[in-house]
Amino acid sequence: MSKLEPVSQAIDEFLALCISKSVNSVVVALSGGVDSLSLLHSLHHRIKQSSHTISLSAVYIDHQLQAGSEQWAEQNRQFCESLEVAFEAVKVDVDKSTASLEKAARTARYQALSHFIADEYTCLVTGQHLNDQAETFLLQLLRGAGSKGLSAMPGWTEFSKGFLARPLIDIPRATLEAYCQSHGLEPIEDPTNSDTDIRRNFIRHQVLPLIEEKWPQAVKTIAAASDIQAENQQLLNELAAIDFENCFDARMDALLLDPIKQLSPGRVRNLLRYWLDACGADMPSQAVLEQIQLQMLDAKEDANPKIELANGSIRRFRDALYWVKDTVQDYSELKLKWPANSDLTLNSQLLIPLQWLKQNYPHLVGKELMVRGRQGGERIRFEKSQQSISLKNYLQEQAVPPWFRAQVLLLEDGNEICAVYCGSFK
């Protein structure tokens, strides 16, 4: 049996999956390396032999980090022209000040690639293979990652408006190298791939070869372990979803502490990871999660602790946990006229839905109102026959968290505040 058979077999299985999901356009993320080169070449030939019509194109992302990147773009262009495959090169700007240049480059790359996946009938394909799977597992293991970080890269997943697939994820690098050699393909050699000061390269060139001397099937075994971790993570996610449903208050957009305190410590940390991931927060370490438990769950009842993370903070207020983004909207300087006969919007953003006014202050519908932000010291009178009350006291009674009060909108009728819009907190 030919060593090349696994590549063709993997591509055939991928194409069958495309057909079953009505995918009719495949976009290859082409770096020109041994993996993406063999991927594009095999896809081109297997699609030509298929009775189904599937369009094939390739995109080269130039991170502008290597002196030869423009030359590589041209080399990839020529290769695509030889196959009569549509090609496009895209330059991206990578944040070089970040702690992880590899992560910043990956973020920029996938953001650029997402623009090519315009609908549910389009699939992006990347060239990750079995060795990549094993290397990633070891990298994450040495970083102290949990099940999520140790989980295998999926072979098929949703991406942008369509899908992302890794058809070669079960194929060893050696098989892809043999494929390229057999077909006379000349992969691009990125000089940084041999730099063992880069941790992934150190694992690739130093650690894994040494392990394989004693355990020849190590790459396959490690990749299998990552598959098991992916299953474990799925179970943890299902458990967290159950706990989230029991502990999350949608009206407050917060986690309630009373039901959380009924959970075991490990289950609490699992719920916190699930919640923070849903909020788009950078995942904290195990040590930080333990601090969240200590400071947030065990704090005094009247305490309002705050834990800063990379892109926001976790805050406790009145027996609930809130995720607060760094970029919170401040309406304190806002001042708008509102005829109150349709939704109030600003720069195409919904500020106050008319339905809210109809439900809470029907007597104000259709009136010429002034909407402004909170300055401090205001008083409010809901009915002309009532005494005015302090807005500060009202917000406290409504359990509006202190950090949210700059987003409160005040409705004036005849220079008197007669209604308060507190968003999700009212």
Instruction: Quick: pLDDT tens for 148-173.
Output: 889 999 999 999 999 999 999 999 99
Domain range list for the chain: 6-129+141-194, 229-325, 335-421
The mean per-residue pLDDT over the stretch 34-58 comes to 95
CATH 1.20.59.20: does it fit domain 229-325?
Answer: yes
Q: Which CATH class is domain 6-129+141-194?
A: alpha beta
Question: Is pLDDT of 67 > 70?
Answer: yes
Name the H helices within 117-193: 130-142, 147-150, 173-182
The pLDDT, as a whole number, for residue 121 is: 97
Which tops the pLDDT comparison, 103 or 425?
103
| 406 phi, psi to nearest 5 deg | -75, -15
pLDDT, greater one: 275 or 348: 275
- The closest alpha carbon to 109, from 159, 184, 182, belongs to 159
SS3 195: coil
Binding residues: 31-36
- The count of other CB atoms within 10 Å of the CB of residue 210 is 10
Q: How confident is the model at residue 40 (pLDDT cuts 50, 70, 90)?
A: very high
Residue pointed to by tokens 């799925």: 234
Half-sphere exposure of 382 (CA within 13 A, CB side): 9
What pLDDT digit, counting tens, does each position of 121-142 carry?
A: 999 999 999 999 999 999 999 9
Please give the share of the chain, as a percent, with pLDDT higher than 90.
55
More confident residue, 55 or 95: 55
Distance CA 164, CA 177 (A): 23
Q: Which residues sit opposite 371 in a β-bridge? A: 336, 411
Question: What global pTM score does this model have?
Answer: 0.77
C-alpha distances in angstroms, 364 versus 357, 370, 371, 425? 7, 11, 12, 20
Distances (CA, A) of 283 to 96, 165, 185, 255, 332: 21, 25, 41, 17, 32
Confidence of residue 100 (pLDDT cuts 50, 70, 90): confident
What share of the chain in percent tops pLDDT 70? 96
User: What integer pLDDT is reported at residue 385 of this predicted model?
Assistant: 60
Strands 369-373 and 335-338: antiparallel
Q: Return the closest-CA partner of residue 223 out of 167, 153, 164.
A: 153
> pLDDT band at 328, cuts 50/70/90?
low
What is the signed CA dihedral for 87, 93, 95, 100, rounded to 10 degrees?
10
In whole angstroms, what is the distance from residue 198 CA to residue 173 CA?
Answer: 19
Q: Annotated binding residues for ATP, as ranges?
A: 31-36
Task: Write out pLDDT tens, residues 231-265.
Answer: 999 999 999 999 999 999 988 889 999 999 999 99
Question: What's the Cα-to-Cα distance from 330 to each of 271, 287, 324, 334, rounded to whole Å?
Answer: 30, 33, 13, 8
Find the DSSP H helices in 50-129. Answer: 69-83, 101-114
